[in-house]
Amino acid sequence: MSDRKLTTRSNTQAIDQFIDQSATLPVASQQSGRILFALDATASRQPSWDAACHLHSELFLATGAVGHIAIQLCYYRGFKEFKATDWVTRPEHLLRAMNRVQCLGGQTQIGRVLQHAMKETRAKAVKAVILIVDCCEEPVDSLCQQAGELGMLNTPLFIFQEGNEPRASQAFKQMAHLSGGAWMPFDHRAVAQLKELLGAVAVYASGGQSALDDLARTGSADIKRLTQQLKR
């Protein structure tokens, strides 16, 4: 957004080094459910990035009784910078990647996330795409087209929006619906809320709709709302 505070520091070299080294990390087994974990890393996102770092292990721990998952972290920031790690199966490897990232001012690149998700799921099924974001600065029609294509590939979008910017909310609701996924607002200060939402998506990715239904029976109102959206 135009009022975002730009930062001049960058650790791009360190990020590139990590990406180059990520091929040596343990990768997913053929049985792993795959989650693409995408975050807006522009300047205004630092509080939510910190919250996601704190809760990253929920994506793994929530599936303990259901199955195994593999996660790929991808993010955009700065001037047209987009990065994606290899697929990892252990929480410490995901946290290592996240801790190397510093948020930088720039515009949203949601279209690149969706394009990357389509490429990945065509190679091997991606069970869910999590997108943590606050606003949308791209043509909505194009994003909705890509979201619909993900829906045809059976790869739902779970869009967790910080705040309630009206135009973005409307766009994200449409995108989630077209993909067969769900949209939920959240407050980065409400750590328990984001924790539950991330855990619910992980359960869905590893165990499918039936596992999520089981979770929703005893889960919070937010989990029930998320589950109901998937049944529309």
What are the residue boundaries of the structural domains of the chain, listed by start? 12-230
pLDDT tens readout for residues 171-217: 999 999 999 999 999 886 777 888 889 889 999 998 899 999 999 99
Average pLDDT of the chain is 82
Say if residue 85 is exposed, middle or buried (CB neighbours under 10 Å; 0-12, 13-18, 19+): buried
pLDDT tens readout for residues 29-51: 444 689 999 988 876 677 777 77
> What global pTM score does this model have?
0.81
d(CA 65, CA 53): 23
Nearest in space to 130 (alpha carbons), one of 179, 189, 68: 179
Task: Please answer whether residues 100 and 15 qualify as being in contact, where contact means their C-beta atoms are separated by less than 8 angstroms.
Answer: yes
DSSP structure class, residue 89: -
pLDDT over 90 percentage in the chain: 47
Query: Quick one: fold of 12-230?
Result: Rossmann fold (3.40.50)
